[in-house]
Structures are given as C-alpha cells and as structure tokens.
Structure 1
Amino acid sequence: MRRSVVPLLVLAAVQAVGAGPAVADGMPTPVPGTAAPGPAGHGEHPAGPEQRSIGIRLLDAPEDRRDDPRAQAYIVDHLAPGSTIERRVEVSNESSEPMHVDVYAAAASVTKGQFAFAAERTPNELTGWTSLDASGLDLPAHGAAQVRTTVRVPANAAAGERYGVIWAQTGGPADRAHNLAIVGRVGVRMYLDIGAGGEPVSDFEIERLTPGRGSDGRAELRARIHNTGGRALDIGGALTLSDGPGGLRAGPFPARTGTTLAPGERAEAVVPLDARLPEGPWSVELKLGSGLVDHAAGATVTFPSTPGGAGAVTASAAGSGAGATPAVAGFAALGLAAGYLLFLGFRRRSRR
C-alpha cells in the first residue's frame, strides 16, 4: 500500500522542534533546512561554515499531515505492516566550491528525554527497510540535488515506533596535512510507527512548574512533562511573565529545545531567563507543543535569589495536567466545606 504525499512549498528551520545545537559523536545534530560546516579540499584547511557547508530539507509530507509542522521537517508517519512510502529530500552545497556528499540512513533512538543519534552508519530495523536512490552526490558550487527515500515495511513487522535519520555527510580521512578527519553531516529525522488500525493518540501533560536559578545566575523555569500518548514528541514552546513587581511584563522566552519524549516517558523542559529579572512574584504562562498537540500551564511564582536556592509556587492552574498546589487544594477544600454547611442549613429551614 502506498501513501499519497503533498510537496512542501515552504520549509522553515524553526520547524525543527527539539533539534538543538548539541553535538552527537562530534557531528552536528540534524536540523532540517539548515547547513552544517564541511571540510575544505584535500590538503587545505576549512574555509569556514559560510564557504564550506551543506544543507538538507524534506520536500514532501503525507496529505493527512499537511497541517503538522513536525511532518514538514521530519519523516513522521503511521504505517500498516506491508506498506511502502516514498519521501524526497534535497541536499544542497552552500559553498562556493564543488563538493562530494554521501547520503545514507542510520539508526537513532529516543531515551532519557533526547533524540539520540547512533555513531556513524550504525544500522537498525528501520534502516534495513530504507533504501535511497543515490548514495553519493557530486554537487557543484551552490548546487542541489534530490534523493528519493523508500521505506518498505515487511508484512510481518511487529507493532511499535522506530527511529532513524537520513544523513547527508561530507568529509575526508586523515592524511599527512591533517591529523584528524573532518566530517560534517546534517539530516532529517524519521519517526515511523508500525501497527494495524488507526494511529496511536499523541498527547502530553505539564505536571509541575518549578522556578529556580542556574549556576550562571540566570533565573529559569523548569516544567516536568509526561508523554501520555503513544507517539514520541518533540517539545518546544515559550514562557510569558506578567504582573511582576511594579506591574512588569517580560517575554516571551523560548523554551530550551532538545526535549524528545518516548511514549510514557517524563522529562524536564527548561526556560532560561535574564539574570537581571526581579525575583517576583510573577504570573507565568508556559505554552508547550509538539506538532498539532499543545497545552498551557499557568502559575504565580517567585524565583530564588541565589543559584541552587528554592523558589516558590504560590498558586497554579493549568489546562494540561499541572497539579494543584497545596494552597489551591486548601481553597478547594474550604469551598467544599462551606457548601456543605450551607446545604445543612437549607435542610433545617426546609424541615421547619
């Protein structure tokens, strides 16, 4: 069975939710629509990212995911056993010189709140199902070429989500002029869920907000997130502060990207703030999302004055799993008690 796809006419680098500037195996992480520095020619030193770099982006997505920003940056789909899909990626040479680029699929995993890239060309079950119509590209200066990716799922494939990356890589081995091999690669992530019937629901909860202060003196807000659905999520979002000292407002501050949660997993998203931010109290609203799923949580918080100190949450209210603080729970209990007393008084008057 083949799935129809639609071309992606507009691709933005900001769609790479959860793909931060971290380094895996000494190589840049895959950030769709952006470039990674490549090496200079044989016997030369690198000329810098602007002159020697490569880029990669996804060119099409499933029709039923045309509104999903994750599916415009990554290969995200739900497939029945025996299905076949095709996706195109474009690899570009951002430099002013010709460049050879290798293209291949390699393994990845989601663990401890991170999308982890396997070393070099490590295979897994998904890469065994994946084939490319080109393994190497000779790109002219500022040139680009398309590579077709085909995934054939065996009819006896077990249910579950698989992860991988379509990599574009450039570099050369060590030689007399270079003691170290210089390798740069960028890629497009793959999130493929296998199973009969409909796709598992994607959802998450914001369970707790914790104000703090980092070792660099900057205030920060941490949010514990629980993936309550059946698909991996790339969490991103922003924090807005209001009703601060003297009526101050601040933000929005972007949440630190790089949080990817497997189904059932919990992790913390961190929003770093300014070191000059007053301690508070502040009314905060944190909005987080992954693809078409988004939730918000609000609270009144006071940041600690010193790194490692304990902040305070005096009230919280969330539309997604943020539990009530003791203060809020106490007010709720008082309200129930008052309602019960009124009910008893009404019954006595009725009997009279």
Structure 2
Amino acid sequence: MKATIAVPPKASAGERYGVIWASASSPKRSGASVTQVHRVGIRIYLDIGPGGEPASDFTTGDMVPARSPQGEPSIAIQVTNTGGRALDITGKASLSEGPAGTRAGPFDTVQGTTLAPGTSGQVTIRFPVELANGPWKAQVNLESGRVKKELAREIEFPDPGKVGKPGTILSRMTTGWNVAIATAGLLVVAGLAGVSRQRWKRLRLRR
C-alpha cells in the first residue's frame, strides 16, 4: 500500500505535520455490544521549500524539583524549540553527591516531549518514592536526533505535595580536579606574594 501527498504549487515554505491512519474493525455480531478496532498511524513531517530541511535546535531553562502528594519526586525542565523543525525531546537524569555521598540513576524521561518550532514545554523525569530530599547534583542529558544538550543543577526535593525552588547552576569549579587545581594555583600565588614581600624588605634594609 502506498500513500501519496500532492503538495499544491502555491504552498508556502515551512514544515507541515500530519498523520496517516490505517484501521480495521472486527465484524459486527448480532447481540454483541463491543467492537474491536485495530489502528496504526504514521507521523508525517513534510518540508516545503528549497534548501533542504531547516536547522533543529532547542534551549533549556529552569529545572524545578517537586513531589507528588503520594511522595514521588520529579524534576521538570523548561525547553524551547528555537529551530525550524518539530522536535521529539527525550533524555536521562543522574543524581550524585546526595546525602552521605549517595548516587542514583540514570532515569529516563517520562515520555518524549514534542514541540513545534517556536513553542515551549516541559520535559519531566520521575524518581523512586524512597529518594531523600537531598540536596543533590542533578546531571541531565536531553536530545532530539543529533541535537544534544547537557545541564547540571543543584536541587533539593520538597515535602510531598509541594513544588521546590528551581535548581541552581553548578559551577565547573565544583569538580574535584578543578578544585585541586584552583587550590594549587592560590598556594602558588600566595607563595609568590610572600617572596615579593621578603625581597621588598631586603631592599629597604639595604637603603
């Protein structure tokens, strides 16, 4: 079976969305009140205009932790489609540096978030109920096709039924190697400053 889409010559440039449904129903039986319907669909992303498909991209915003009334923790990440094509955004989240140095994950997104160009939405990731409030370092990787984004935030889950404060952006200097390098740099600067003061005192004594 083939399906053909006839695009009018005067159609404006851009991307169009659609779906092709195929369905089959069970034969009706006398006295039966239930009819089975089997259906399958194929998504359509139709690009109209010269120059190939538009560029794809998206930006990320706040990462907001929350707990459901049943105690299930989650994070919601604001995403905006800044490209020229529809996106299906999925991803994973890992938690580290929690209470007593605990780690958890990775955990998948609840479901793919589909965004048309210029629209915004949320990507949601849920965690086990027994997860402690934190604080945690949340590392999230989001992607849609070849477009990938990575973000890291310090978050703390609230009590059940509440929404927490947006996560704070983690500095790259928080990693162990970077902290060690920065500390070594400060010690070198302090040492050089001490040597300079000693030389200055000697010069004053000679005068």
Q: TM-score band (shorter)?
A: 0.7 to 0.9
Runs of 5+ unmatched residues, structure 1: 1-146, 319-352
Partner of 2:65: 211
Map of 1:231-310 to 2, 5 A cutoff? 231-310=85-164
Residues 68-111 of structure 1 show CA distances to partners (whole Å, capped at 9, x for unaligned) of xxxxxxxxxxxxxxxxxxxxxxxxxxxxxxxxxxxxxxxxxxxx
User: Partners in 2 of 1:255 and 1:178 — Cα distance?
Assistant: 41
Partner of residue 19, structure 2? 165
Aligned-pair CA distance for 1:159: 1.5
**Secondary structure at the counterpart of residue 69 of structure 2:** coil
Identity %: 42
Match of 1:194 among 48, 62, 87: 48
- Distance in 2, matches of 1:283 and 1:162, equals 40
**Helix, strand or coil at the partner of 1:149:** coil
In 1, the alpha carbon distance for the partners of 2:171 and 2:113 equals: 23
Q: Which runs of 5+ in 2 are unaligned?
A: 173-207
Matches within 5 A, 1:172-183: 172=26, 174-183=28-37
Size of the alignment, in residue pairs?
Answer: 172
Compute the displacement of 1:224 (Å).
Answer: 0.4
Counterparts of 1:243 and 1:228 in 2: how far apart (Å)?
A: 33
Q: Residues 211 and 311 of structure 1 are in contact (CA less than 8 Å); yes or no, is this contact kept in structure 2?
A: yes
Cα contact 1:225–1:268 (8 A) shared by 2: yes
TM-score (norm 2): 0.75
Structure with more of its chain in helix, by fraction: 2
What are the equivalent positions in structure 2 for 1:301-320 lying under 5 Å apart?
Answer: 301-311=155-165, 313-316=167-170
Distance 1:309 1:198 in 2: 43
**What value does the CA root-mean-square deviation take over the aligned residues?**
2.0
What's the TM-score once normalised by structure 1's chain length?
0.46
Whichever of the two has the greater Rg, that structure is 2
Q: Distance in 1 between matches of 2:42 and 2:70?
A: 33
- On the 8 A contact 1:173/1:180 being kept in 2, the answer is no
